[in-house]
Amino acid sequence: MARKVLILMGSDSDLKVMNEAAKALHALEVETEIRISSAHRVPDKTMKLARSARENGFGAIIAGAGLAAHLPGVVAACTTLPVIGVPIQGGAIQGIDALYAIVQMPKGIPVATVAVNGAFNAGLLAAQILATADDELATRLDSYRAQLASEVEAKDDKLQTIGVEAYLNN
């Protein structure tokens, strides 16, 4: 059976950003479960979700948090499933704190970190991880890449046809 992706976030204030991961995965027909579970406010729940993720059919975990963003690291400490961290923009220094907290993991416990608010890419990366063992998903990822390429080609064709000024005013 196809593996699912668990999407975790530290607060409901992260939900709008983190839902982008779900959108990317749903477009690729990957099933998700999306949960609020703070590493600081509900540590026991967070560790339970991470520890049971593999037996519950998940193949990857995406964890998003802002400020002193310990959620991805704590989750990664509790599972050997691949964990993708999403630093959430916000607070006094706009996500730089979360970026550094998530990306600077100690040796032995990796977290793959995407851009600040990069939840959509986190979804794509999770799909690519699952696609190492799922040829049909790999084919859907190829179609997505082809669609991206054709959008760029259409824009370049338009630019060549109407020129820079008309393109900018269009």
Binding residues for substrate: 11, 14, 41
Interface with ligand RP5, residue 37, by CB under 6 A: no
Spatial separation of the C-alpha atoms in residues 142 and 148, rounded to whole Å = 10
In terms of CB distance, is 11 or 32 closer to ligand RP5?
11
Q: Write out the H or E segment, with its range, that includes residue 112.
A: strand 112-113
Beta strand spans in 80-156 (E)? 83-88, 112-113
- Shortest approach of ligand RP5 to residue 91 CB, angstroms? 7
Interface with ligand RP5, residue 65, by CB under 6 A: yes
Spatial separation of the C-alpha atoms in residues 43 and 51, rounded to whole Å = 12
Spatial separation of the C-alpha atoms in residues 18 and 120, rounded to whole Å = 8
In terms of CB distance, is 69 or 131 closer to ligand RP5?
69
- Shortest approach of ligand RP5 to residue 100 CB, angstroms? 14
Contact residues for ligand RP5, defined by CB under 6 A: 9-11, 13-14, 38, 65-67, 88, 90
